[in-house]
């Protein structure tokens, strides 16, 4: 079949010698990053401290606008941060857990770092309510919605779950939160770049994620969208001079907040990471997420079929509407299979309660899926010990 997106393969050096099925963990590096980081080094080397006023100081807000376009965020509503955990901290610092509305509702399918952060807020007065999965794949939506009540302050929830690629019903969660006055913090780390996200249509309060997976942006950049009406009034206590109206006045005493997005930033911005993140974002924006999603749905369906034909358990929703870009497979001896695949340059990963995660992105060919599955079969056939279906 004619797959136009394969034209982009040449932009990603690692595809020349690996079967790269791990964009759920670290997206492939675009060739353009070499030049981006050279520009960064040249600017630092030749312009020195003048680089701040010649572009570095405004880069984070510009990048926020660029990534905001992918999620239909209005201009000036997206700030950047080093990681998603820091985004949670910025949001938490806008609220007071000693008030009556201090309940945090989340799912045990959230990414652990996000859980650890909210659990740690108990000592500041937060009441944390964790909704537990029944099957290790899905999040019980009704139970999650029931837990969101008039005392709920925040609902930090993954859009697409990292373990199983299950897609939460973000619309229903946001609607319930609106009814009772709670705020949703939607973690789109595993969705933006492969699944369409529209923050205005969802009317979500906060949205955050990182760029190193599906956005091929490398480590060190996360984004935080704050709905403009909230952005105009919230005052993060985790703050710093980047958030000041006039940082170079070096005023003494309390902060006078800048408008968003700077209001949600704090210290010196992460320039090299922002530079490295731009080429990936440019490519994804150029292709457009709907085209990526269409291909992803087809390829994840193909992977699921290949796995089921071989009797392997799939820990990912079979309904394409309910899953993101990853297929988690529990074949026999899955952890060992993963180690063997890595030795053969088939790059995937393994997670407890998930199995081997395979994540085709726009740059993967259908053949690569077949090759990865054939490699698994070969690994299993070469084992002498009896097969155990649940490892
Ligand atoms: C859904 C989700 N949230 C958050 C993270 C990581 O958070 P952080 O950027 O703080 O490392 C991941 C990483 O795998 C993830 O999959």
* pLDDT per position as a tens digit, 53-87: 999 999 999 999 999 999 999 999 999 999 999 99
Q: Which of 94, 97, 95, 115 is nearest to 106 (CA)?
A: 115
- Digit-coded pLDDT (tens) for 219-240: 999 999 999 999 999 999 999 9
> With the C-alpha atoms ordered 361, 198, 266, 55, is the resulting torsion angle positive or negative?
positive
> Are 25 and 354 spatial neighbours (Cβ–Cβ below 8 Å)?
no
Q: Given this model, what pLDDT does residue 2 score?
A: 84
Say how many Å lie between the CA of residue 313 and the centre of ligand 1. Answer: 25
Cα 51 from chain centroid (whole Å): 30
How far, in Å, from the CA of 165 to the mean position of ligand 1?
A: 13
Q: Of 123, 165, 384, which is closest to residue 293 (Cα–Cα)? A: 165
Distances (CA, A) of 46 to 43, 53, 200: 5, 14, 42
> 156, 203, 141, 144: which is closest to 175 by C-alpha?
203
- Retrieve residue 190's tokens: 């595993």
Look up tokens 């019980």; give the residue. Answer: 140
Question: For residues 239 and 245, is the Cβ–Cβ distance under 8 A?
Answer: no
Return the pLDDT at 286: 98
Q: Is the peptide bond before 61 cis (omega within 30 degrees of 0)?
A: no
Atom 6 of ligand 1, residue of closest alpha carbon: 84
Question: 197 falls in which pLDDT band (50, 70, 90)?
Answer: very high
152 sits in which H/E element:
strand 152-158
State how far the alpha carbon of 68 is from the alpha carbons of 17, 32, 100, 208, in Å: 33, 21, 33, 11
pLDDT at 51 over 90: yes
CA atoms lying within 13 Å on the CB side of residue 166: 23
70, 133, 208, 318, 345 from 22: Cα distances, Å? 22, 25, 21, 20, 11
Ligand 1 pocket member 189 (CB < 6 A): yes
Triad 376, 378, 384: Cα angle to 5°? 105
Q: Kindly report the average pLDDT of the chain as a whole number.
A: 96
Question: Tokens 């490295």 correspond to what residue?
Answer: 276
Is the Cβ atom of 191 under 6 angstroms away from ligand 1? no
What number does the ligand 1 atom closest to the CA of 25 have? 14
Location of structure tokens 């401290």:
49
Q: Which of 165, 210, 220 to mutate to test the pocket of ligand 1 (most atoms within 8 A of CB)?
A: 210
pLDDT at 391 (0 to 100): 44
| 208 C-alpha to ligand 1 centroid (Å) | 10
157 CB near ligand 1 (under 6 Å) = no
- If you compute the radius of gyration of the chain from its CA atoms, what whole number of angstroms results? 22
Q: Which atom of ligand 1 has the smallest separation from the CA of 161?
A: 1
Cβ proximity of 285 and 66 under 8 Å:
yes
What is the distance between the alpha carbons of residues 383 and 333, in angstroms, rounded to a whole number?
10
């Amino acid at each position: 079949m004619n797959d136009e997106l394969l034209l982009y393969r040449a932009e990603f050096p690692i595809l020349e010698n690996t079967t790269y099925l791990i964009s759920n963990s670290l997206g492939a590096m675009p060739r353009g990053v070499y030049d981006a980081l050279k520009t960064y080094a040249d600017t630092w080397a030749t312009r020195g401290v003048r680089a701040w006023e010649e572009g570095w100081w405004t880069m984070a807000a510009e990048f926020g606008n660029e990534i905001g376009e992918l999620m239909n965020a209005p201009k000036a509503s997206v700030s950047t941060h080093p990681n998603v955990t820091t985004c949670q901290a910025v949001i938490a610092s806008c609220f007071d857990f000693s008030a009556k509305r201090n309940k945090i509702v989340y799912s045990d399918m959230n990414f652990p770092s996000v859980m650890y952060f909210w659990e740690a807020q108990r000592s500041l007065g937060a009441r944390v309510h964790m909704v537990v999965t029944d099957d290790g794949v899905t999040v019980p939506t009704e139970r999650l919605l029931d837990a969101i009540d008039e005392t709920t302050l925040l609902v930090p929830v993954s859009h697409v779950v990292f373990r199983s690629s299950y897609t939460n019903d973000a619309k229903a969660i946001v609607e319930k939160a609106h009814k009772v006055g709670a705020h949703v913090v939607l973690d789109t780390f595993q969705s933006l770049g492969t699944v369409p996200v529209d923050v205005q249509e969802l009317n979500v309060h906060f949205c955050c994620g990182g760029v190193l997976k599906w956005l091929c942006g490398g480590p060190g950049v996360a984004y935080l969208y704050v709905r403009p009406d909230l952005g105009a009034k919230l005052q993060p206590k985790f703050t710093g001079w980047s958030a000041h109206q006039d940082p170079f006045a070096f005023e003494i005493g309390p902060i006078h907040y800048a408008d968003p997005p700077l209001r949600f930033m704090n210290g010196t911005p992460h320039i090299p990471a922002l530079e490295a993140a731009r080429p990936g974002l440019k490519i994804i924006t150029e292709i457009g997420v709907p085209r990526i999603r269409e291909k992803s749905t087809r390829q994840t369906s193909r992977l699921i079929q290949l796995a089921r034909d071989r009797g392997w358990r799939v820990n990912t929703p079979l309904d394409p509407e309910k899953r993101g870009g990853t297929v988690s497979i529990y074949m026999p001896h899955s952890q060992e299979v993963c180690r063997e695949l890595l030795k053969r340059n088939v790059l995937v990963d393994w997670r407890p309660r998930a199995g081997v995660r395979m994540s085709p992105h726009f740059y993967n060919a259908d053949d690569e899926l077949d090759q990865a599955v054939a490699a698994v079969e070969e690994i299993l056939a070469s084992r002498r010990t009896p097969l155990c279906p649940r490892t």
